Structure 1
């Protein structure tokens, strides 16, 4: 099965959407499917106002349609609501091709924080965008419930995973800073509520990994904090392994892959009791969620590393990919091939295990 994923979020952007899509593509190969991406690569782009690190494609007329036809996919999935996603959606509707979408970003909250756009207006547009598809995939139970409550018609859960071979405890790693080390990883932007962490009176050191439009102002306002900029792969995994507590102050994330990366590295989590964070950690003894973020940070120091790692080991990208493929089948956009003659029914294709 050939799956085409249309996405406006792609390199050089570094965010959870890009990491999710790349990890999904690697995982589905072992399940007998393949993913090709329709991205802004090779197209003219313009910077998003007030957010120059995010650039939006300006495709030539007909370019998206020609790329889809050249790729000849069995399934189309639209991951973002930008120009690429919009044109892929329009092509599918014009040609009668069914498609699915996924909801990765709380655009209504982000837009309201940056521009004078009422959240209800953005939610109405998002509902219009996604309801044209056969189903919308969302990462957590609470997000599924919220989208359904906002009028999204068919919402299916698509959980995420983590690379436990890359993100793992690495005894002896040290950043050369006073301990304990409280770490935050992610885009340095106003919607991430990072100031709530930076302003805390905590022992030891505070470290931030990531880039974004708020970095210059926050670095100037908090000279005591170590801002390490963007880190990827092994360099990022080394920083996780050298910290003591992972701090997640966001109120707007739909999931937060960094939570899983931290837990896989053996780091306990301190965060706010918001739905997305609660959905990720569940009832496992791996996090402290409190409206008093300082209290959560200090209490998280008492959590052992082993339960954090054990919890993350249950959340693999292969299982995430299985659910994605099962959702495609459940949405009616794809059907698995029939079993080979003579095979017993219980040996159905492993592609559709949920």
Structure 2
């Protein structure tokens, strides 16, 4: 396969901790390992000093996401940069002003461009008391992504949902999981003891951002049902966000471990027993497959990564999408059947072992090559990425 010069334009990148940054970091590393020339354009991060291999642009903090920045418009700078060193392909990872600038500069110079859809920002608006924004945000996202040769989505249900809203050129490039990092062998009795949990204590956990769009009240409701069955149960929250302070003040008996990274994060997963994930706003949900790789019994809604990889009563428990009562029922079952959950966790681990990042990088290469072919022969319908099968 031809080695390509690919430029990713993104608002977030490691060491920032979120699903977009993690996914992009893995993709960049995988493509570089295959010999592709990869560059990254992003806003300057708080930890950045004077040196960086990436091209850094100005940015402003995102409301409710103080750890992240959105890039300011930079069309002229990007055009000058790409005139001097032209990439084969531009990938707009995020949809802010920086991403729009990248698409504008690529179009001016005749450079092939694709985009990625990672976050359902238009559905977040109702969780922040701004439901009236959903329709204009959806229109903006549709216009942004439809300017590209292809838009990468992580799953078939996201593809189908966006297609029904008028998005075109949708191509599935899934997500992988690091099964060497996320491993049941990292289970730690001493960590469990720090949570007040003994060998037989049922530990439920939530891992992720603590924010309104994550449906956190249902985590609490599900755990109350579990605790009614197993009074010694413990709930562990791993992550941070605008809801953490209020949650921690209201539930001092529960464990709040803060943001965790790398091996520490993997140890937190593996030291729990049941993973509760009731979010209804995910495009994928990397935490689900990380929990699966860690050998946890997962309780989740039947969509996104859970739909792609979980089979009810085979390797996890799933409830109908947005069915609160159904989710609580599955959590209650998990509390009542600890041995079943251990077996489901083992099966989940086996499933996760087949979800490799190498195969995901191969999927990206296929879409990238097809996009370039379409760009070179725009009037040939056999090469249009929009007509490819997902």
What TM-score, normalized by structure 1, do the two folds share?
0.88
The CA distance in 1 between the partners of 2:12 and 2:274, in whole Å, is 29
1:25 aligned onto 2:59 = no
Compared CA separation, residues 264 and 314, structure 1 to 2 (3 A): same
The one of 151, 156, 159 equivalent to 1:141 is 156
Q: What does the per-residue CA deviation read over 1:234-260, in whole Å, with 9 as the maximum and x for residues that have no partner?
A: 010111110101111100100011111
Aligned residues: 336
The CA distance in 2 between the partners of 1:16 and 1:207, in whole Å, is 20
Q: Would you say the 8 A contact 1:162–1:315 is kept in 2?
A: yes
Offset, 1:276: 5.0
Structure 2 equivalent of residue 288 of structure 1:
317
State the secondary structure of the residue aligned to 1:328.
helix
Kindly report which structure 2 residues correspond to 1:56-205, keeping only aligned pairs within 5 A, or say none: 56-58=70-72, 62-114=76-128, 115=130, 117-170=132-185, 173-174=188-189, 175-176=192-193, 177-178=196-197, 179-199=201-221, 200-201=223-224, 202-203=226-227, 204-205=233-234
Offset, 1:120: 1.7
The CA distance in 2 between the partners of 1:61 and 1:140, in whole Å, is 31
Offset, 1:312: 0.1
The CA distance in 2 between the partners of 1:96 and 1:30, in whole Å, is 28
The CA distance in 1 between the partners of 2:256 and 2:25, in whole Å, is 26
Range 273-282 or range 1-10, more displaced: 273-282
The CA distance in 1 between the partners of 2:208 and 2:278, in whole Å, is 10
Structure 2 equivalent of residue 349 of structure 1:
none
Structure 1 equivalent of residue 50 of structure 2:
none
Q: Cα RMSD (Å) of the superposition? A: 2.2
Kindly report which structure 2 residues correspond to 1:199-348, keeping only aligned pairs within 5 A, or say none: 199=221, 200-201=223-224, 202-203=226-227, 204-275=233-304, 277-282=306-311, 285-290=314-319, 291=323, 292-300=326-334, 301=338, 302-303=340-341, 304=343, 305-332=345-372
Range 309-318 or range 175-184, more displaced: 175-184
Range 163-172 or range 255-264, more displaced: 163-172
1:13 aligned onto 2:35 = no
The CA distance in 1 between the partners of 2:35 and 2:313, in whole Å, is 33
Unaligned runs of 5+ in 1: 336-353
Q: Which has the higher helix share?
A: 2
The CA distance in 2 between the partners of 1:70 and 1:39, in whole Å, is 18
Runs of 4+ in structure 1 off by over 6 angstroms are none
The CA distance in 2 between the partners of 1:211 and 1:187, in whole Å, is 5
Unaligned runs of 5+ in 2: 45-55, 228-232, 376-389
The CA distance in 2 between the partners of 1:171 and 1:14, in whole Å, is 21
Offset, 1:106: 0.1
Q: Would you say the 8 A contact 2:288–2:305 is kept in 1?
A: no
The CA distance in 1 between the partners of 2:169 and 2:369, in whole Å, is 13
Q: Would you say the 8 A contact 1:246–1:269 is kept in 2?
A: yes
State the secondary structure of the residue aligned to 1:86.
helix
State the secondary structure of the residue aligned to 2:94.
coil
Q: Would you say the 8 A contact 2:156–2:172 is kept in 1?
A: yes
Q: Would you say the 8 A contact 1:198–1:222 is kept in 2?
A: no
The CA distance in 2 between the partners of 1:53 and 1:82, in whole Å, is 16
Kindly report which structure 2 residues correspond to 1:43-58, keeping only aligned pairs within 5 A, or say none: 43-58=57-72
Q: What does the per-residue CA deviation read over 1:254-280, in whole Å, with 9 as the maximum and x for residues that have no partner?
A: 001111111111112102234553234
The CA distance in 1 between the partners of 2:86 and 2:266, in whole Å, is 37
Range 113-122 or range 96-105, more displaced: 113-122
